[in-house]
Structures are given as structure tokens and as C-alpha cells.
């Protein structure tokens, strides 16, 4: 279901309008003036009508919305002038050249150390198997185990780094989600004033008018019909019936002799002269 966009309602505020409308319809049974919901019109019909009339409904709270948008724009303009390093110092420093080299080393060290460990261990054990008297094989094996330990340590460091990065990004995303709830007092008041005006002067009056419309009666809904009932669609049933419906079901066709005779087919006393 698409919501008709209003010229004065920004796209980012469309979901908020839909949320307020949904809350109003969800709690409509608590309002005596909306007692016709479900009787004259159901909630889905009212939701569709309200979404199609977004421009008309939001115009009722245009003054409050304009104040809210202005306060929000001033807040964003002020936030844009604050250096990002002041609030996200660690994140900005992590994007520098040092962070790039560290990331490369974190990825390459386990691979290189693991490869070296495999090579040294393989060569060392082969040399010990074919030439036990040569002591170089033992040195190769020792070097192989050293690189294996380096690879294990590098993998552990990389895992810890990934965990720290995930926790940092998670806290950053939660802070971004809670940013709306931590708006300055002026912006928060403007937003709440717009929400209240939109509900009281826009959505609720529209729903009341829709329910009070005499043309939006039960006929607007799709009635539940019994499967054994033949609906009447404005014309009578044709005058035909089966043989078992009796004589009152309508005239049945009869066959009579033709209304013409030939001179050659007269009565027995009639002979051609």
C-alpha cells in the first residue's frame, strides 16, 4: 500500500504520519466519536482513505509542521559545523593510514605465518625421515612450530579486534537510533506539537467525517453471503424451469400441428377432383 505524498510533508516524516494514523485506528474503540469503526467502515478502508488524503489531513497541522521542520533544520545545520572528531575521535582515527596498515597486517599475518609453519614443518619432518643424521631438519621443525605459534597468536588478535569493532559499531548504531529521543528540548517540543495537531485537527476529524458520510454505509463493505444463497443483482430470474418444477414454474413449450394443410393431405372424405 503506497501513501500519497503531500507537497508539504517531507519523505522522512511519511512513516511518522502512517504511525500516528495506525495508532488512532488501533485505539478507535476507546473514542465514542469513532464508534462506527467496523460497522460503517472497517479500519483498512479508513486507513486507505486517510493515506489517499494525506495532503488534506496534514494541511490541518501545517503551522506546527513548518515550525518543527525549521527547528530540525537548524539543529542539523548546527551539528554539521561540529567537527566529527570531537564526538567520534576513535572512529575517525581508525580510518587513518595507521588503521589501514594495521588491518592489512591483521589479515596477512595469520596467512603468512600459517603458510611458513606448514612449509617448515613439512620440510623438517621430511628431512628427519630421510636423513636422520642431518641436524638441519630439527631446526626446520623448530622454525615451523614458531611460525605456527605466531599464526595462532595473530588469529587470536584478529578475533579480538573483530569483537571490539563489532561492539563499537553496535554502540554507534544504538546511539544513532536513540538520537531522535535525545533531541534538544525545542525540537522535541516542536515535534510533539506537530504530532498532537496532526492527530486532533487532521486525522480524527477526517475519520469522523468519513464515518458520518451517509454514502459510506454498510454497502461500502463486502457483505458476507451464505454460499447457498443466490444474490440478487437487480434483475429477475428468467422464466425457465426444469420438468420437475411443476406447472407454476412458467409456460412450457408445446407442439401443435402446423397451421397449414395441403390439398393432397385432407380428410378421408376429401378427394381431389
Mean pLDDT of the residues in the chain: 74
- Burial grade of 54 (CB within 10 A; 0-12, 13-18, 19 or more): buried
Distances (CA, A) of 24 to 10, 45, 205: 21, 14, 11
Q: What burial letters (b/e) apply to 107-120, b meaning 16+ CB within 10 Å?
A: eebbeebbebbeeb
- In whole angstroms, give the CA distance from residue 46 to residue 117: 71
Q: How confident is the model at residue 136 (pLDDT cuts 50, 70, 90)?
A: confident
Torsion of CA 124, 126, 127, 131, to 10 degrees: 150
Angle at 9 between CA 16 and CA 202, to 5 degrees: 70
Task: Quote the percentage of the chain above a pLDDT of 70.
Answer: 63
Q: Lowest-pLDDT range, 32-36, 102-106, 131-135, 179-183?
A: 179-183
Most trustworthy range by pLDDT among 29-43, 56-70, 115-129: 56-70
- For 3-27, how does the pLDDT look when each residue is reduced to its tens digit (9 = 90+)? 444 557 898 999 999 999 999 999 8
pLDDT number for residue 20: 96
pLDDT number for residue 226: 41
Tell whether the model's pLDDT for residue 91 goes beyond 60: no
pLDDT number for residue 219: 38
pLDDT number for residue 220: 43
Instruction: Please check whether residue 238 is in contact with residue 101, taking contact to mean a CB–CB distance below 8 angstroms.
Output: no
Q: How confident is the model at residue 83 (pLDDT cuts 50, 70, 90)?
A: low
Amino acid at each position: 500500500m503506497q501513501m500519497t505524498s503531500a507537497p508539504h510533508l517531507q519523505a522522512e516524516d511519511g512513516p511518522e504520519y502512517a504511525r500516528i494514523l495506525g495508532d488512532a485506528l488501533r485505539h478507535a474503540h476507546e473514542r465514542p466519536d469513532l464508534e462506527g469503526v467496523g460497522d460503517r467502515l472497517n479500519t483498512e478502508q479508513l486507513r486507505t482513505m486517510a493515506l489517499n488524503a494525506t495532503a488534506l489531513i496534514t494541511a490541518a497541522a501545517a503551522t506546527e509542521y513548518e515550525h518543527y521542520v525549521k527547528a530540525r533544520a537548524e539543529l542539523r545545520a548546527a551539528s554539521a559545523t561540529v567537527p566529527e572528531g570531537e564526538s567520534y575521535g576513535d572512529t575517525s582515527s581508525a580510518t587513518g593510514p595507521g588503521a589501514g596498515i594495521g588491518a592489512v597486517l591483521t589479515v596477512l599475518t595469520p596467512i603468512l605465518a600459517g603458510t611458513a609453519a606448514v612449509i617448515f614443518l613439512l620440510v623438517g619432518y621430511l628431512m628427519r625421515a630421510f636423513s636422520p643424521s642431518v641436524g638441519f631438519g630439527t631446526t626446520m621443525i623448530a622454525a615451523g612450530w614458531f611460525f605456527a605459534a605466531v599464526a595462532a597468536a595473530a588469529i587470536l588478535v584478529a578475533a579480538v579486534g573483530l569483537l571490539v569493532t563489532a561492539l563499537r559499531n553496535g554502540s554507534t548504531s544504538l546511539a544513532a537510533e536513540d538520537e531522535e529521543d535525545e533531541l534538544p528540548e525545542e525540537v522535541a517540543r516542536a515535534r510533539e506539537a506537530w504530532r498532537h495537531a496532526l492527530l486532533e485537527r487532521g486525522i480524527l476529524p477526517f475519520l469522523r467525517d468519513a464515518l458520518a458520510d451517509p454514502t459510506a454505509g454498510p454497502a461500502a463493505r463486502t457483505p458476507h453471503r451464505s454460499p447457498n444463497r443466490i444474490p440478487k443483482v437487480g434483475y429477475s430470474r428468467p422464466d425457465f424451469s426444469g420438468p420437475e418444477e411443476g406447472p407454476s414454474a412458467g409456460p412450457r413449450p408445446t407442439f401443435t400441428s402446423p397451421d397449414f394443410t395441403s390439398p393432397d393431405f385432407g380428410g378421408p372424405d376429401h378427394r381431389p377432383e
